[in-house]
Structure 1
Amino acid sequence: MTARIVPAHRVEMAVLAADVLGETPLWCDRSSRLWWIDIERQLHQSFDPSTGAHRWSRHDCRFLGSQALASDGSHFLAQGLSLRQRDPASGLLNDFCEVEHDLDNRLNDGRVDARGRLWIGTMDNELHRPNGALYRVGGDRTVTRLFGDVIVTNGIAFSPDNRTLYFTDTRRYCTWCFDFDLDEGVIGNRRLFADYSATKERPDGACVDADGGLWTAFFSGSRVVRYRPDGRIDTVIAMPVTNPTCLCFGGTDLKTMFITSARKFLSPEQLSLEPHAGHLFAIDGIAQGLPEHRFAVNSKV
């Protein structure tokens, strides 16, 4: 099949964020805002499309690696190897749990499943050692290690029917899928879904749409692609920047795709040719999204 090509001029700039490493966009239906982070500037950011307001808070940590929405309205922020709970009204942070110990790693990509469990992985701070792992975190602070031998965790997503989990290791240049048992919270039957090990292309953050398509941003690849559940690519969005990082669907109808990006690893010469690097982008009407699940705080799952 021939993939549909969406030209870069369809992609609009939503926020002049200038992120060093923008990541983990999530649409909050309660606040009608998009939330995302800049990992290396330790910023937790929000954007209100109805007013154009862009707000942020800076956190005292080396890396602000990921985030999740919670059932009680709070946010969970991954700082180093720990999860902390942030009250959106006061901004106060409380320690929740330490996911991993005594490794030169940090938490990276994560996603909440339909039972309210957070699936989150770690990555090697030097980007080449297989020190990382995938974990499942419950609202009762239970942390379960699922597998290791990971360099850079990314692209965690669940199919709409809750039968498949997608997982990417960006520095192994591959995406895998697993059979997922929602009731038991376990995965199995790991198999290769997309393999870029020959070309060293870097699949990064991902999300699924209502029809089961997996959308993946390609860091250093200037594009976002949609995979059908059978692994075939049917849509390619050309991006106006080199480093798209992650994406989600938002807006009141969940038909706007928001895409974060990064300035990281671009030379001064590249940055001079790419003034929009690190900004937040949006494209309307490309697909129908799904609401994000919320971390079930203080519940046993």
Structure 2
Amino acid sequence: MTAGHAGVHCAVPGTDLLGETPLWCERTRSLLWLDIDGGRLQRFHPATGRHDSFTFDGRYVGSLALAQQPGTVLLGIDLGLFLFDLGTGEQRLLCQVEPADRDNRLNDGRCDARGRFWVGTMDNQLHRPQGAFYRVDPDGRCERLFDDVIVSNTVALSPAQDRLYFSDTRRFTTWQFDLDLDQGTLANKRVFADHTAARLRPDGACVDAQGYLWNAIFAGSRVVRYTPAGEIDRVIDLPVTNPTCVCLGGPGLTTLYITTARKFLDRGRLRQEPLAGSVLSVEVDVPGLPEQRFGTPPSGATRSQP
């Protein structure tokens, strides 16, 4: 914990270049997250302090989801989606979302209650609108929903699974869509939070049990909780410049885990931010929801809200 940031703790010390996509696994009571630029998947067990790291050959490991199959996760490595068995190390290509020679990579994504994965791609140069947003079905079929994206982010679903949130970080805007869960379609795009005046960069997000959206503000040293109407409810200031993503986990799903990045910080700034690249945590009052998993759900387990 750093003075001036009461309630903020260091959950997992680290030096992630681009820590991202924390997810809480209720089955194993562990936290999983990525170091995108480091090409690593990590897993931490708070009860024992065990910290595992899995390294991959791709340039980037940019997307992560829990899978229905025990001990398995869905990983976005560069522009392909792979099923990875944490126990055996087996890695199987599910689908190639975009051609491998395109100068893009997979980024933020989220599963719905039907086991589909909603995920975006982004420009590796961070300024060209050549990314897109996709729905990936459990059988690996991939449907492109829209394009003209620079950096896709903030993919999160409302508790009723009837709204989807999405940001283009480099356009400083978060939108929401109506989601038809039965059809797997999006409609009625509208602005949820407009950061263009302040040029704030909305990054990864999660939704709590009340339907409020927690959003990390990259280069903004804070996370923000928004009401379902898009109004600011709470701001948590952080001792790091670059928070990247959030999730709600822990035994009661009331620990807000925050991944962070050392990327873009010079040595002087890093000396001032010893927690940059670590996973931070804050205890909150409203719990989260169990994370949905990729793959065909067990019979009778397709309800919208767990």
**Per-residue Cα deviation, 1:157-183 (whole angstroms, up to 9, x for no partner):** 001111110001101110000011111
Counterpart in 2 of 1:265?
264
Give the structure-2-normalised TM-score. Answer: 0.94
Report the alpha carbon displacement of residue 297 of structure 1 after superposing the two structures with TM.
Answer: 5.0
5+ residue gaps, structure 1, are 1-6
Amino acid at match of 1:293: Q
Residue 12 of structure 1 corresponds to 9
Counterpart amino acid of 1:88? Answer: L
Counterpart in the other structure of 2:145: 146
Cα deviations across residues 72-102 of structure 1 (Å, max 9, x unaligned)? 1211110000011111211111111101124
Distance 1:285 1:235 in 2: 11
Q: Deviations over 1:161-212 (max 9, x none)?
A: 1111000110111000001111111010000111111221101000000000
1:269 CA drift (Å) = 0.8
Counterpart CA distance in 2 for 1:52 and 1:287 is 25
Aligned to 1:231, what secondary structure does the other structure show? coil
Q: For each residue in 1:6-28, what CA deviation from the matched residue of structure 2 results, as whole angstroms up to 9, or x when unmatched?
A: x6221100111210000000000
The amino acid of 1:77's aligned partner reads L
1:44 alignment partner in structure 2: 41
Q: What residue is the counterpart of 1:84 in the other structure?
A: 82
Tell me if the contact between 1:166 and 1:177 (Cα under 8 Å) persists in the aligned partners: yes
Could you give the per-residue CA deviations for residues 219-269 of structure 1, whole angstroms, max 9, x where no partner exists? 000000000011110100111111000000111211111100000000111
Aligned to 2:32: 35
What is the TM-score normalised by the length of structure 1? 0.95
- Deviation, structure 1 residue 298: 9.7
What residue is the counterpart of 1:3 in the other structure?
none
Note if contact 1:140-1:298 (Cα within 8 Å) is conserved in structure 2.
no
Residue 256 of structure 1 corresponds to which residue in structure 2? 255
Q: How many residues align?
A: 294
- Find runs of 4+ consecutive structure 1 residues off by over 6 angstroms: none
> Residues of 1 paired with 2:271 and 2:257: CA distance?
24
Amino acid at match of 2:197: A
Q: How does 1:116-155 map to 2 (within 5 A)?
A: 116-155=115-154
Equivalent-residue separation in structure 2 for 1:166 and 1:255 (angstroms): 21
Residue pair 2:17, 2:38 contacting (<8 A) in 1 also: yes
Contact residue 139 and residue 298 of structure 1 kept, 8 A = no
Q: Which moved more, 1:19-28 or 1:9-18?
A: 9-18
SS in 1 for 2:170: helix
User: 1:163: which partner in 2?
Assistant: 162
Q: Quick one: distance in 2 between partners of 1:162 and 1:138? A: 16
Alignment of 1:1-301 (within 5 A): 8-73=5-70, 74-101=72-99, 102-296=101-295
Task: Please state how far the C-alpha of 1:216 moved relative to its aligned partner.
Answer: 0.2
**Cα separation, 2, equivalents of 1:38 and 1:238:** 22
Gaps of 5+ in 2: none
Are 2:68 and 2:297, in contact at CA under 8 Å, matched by a contact in 1? Answer: no
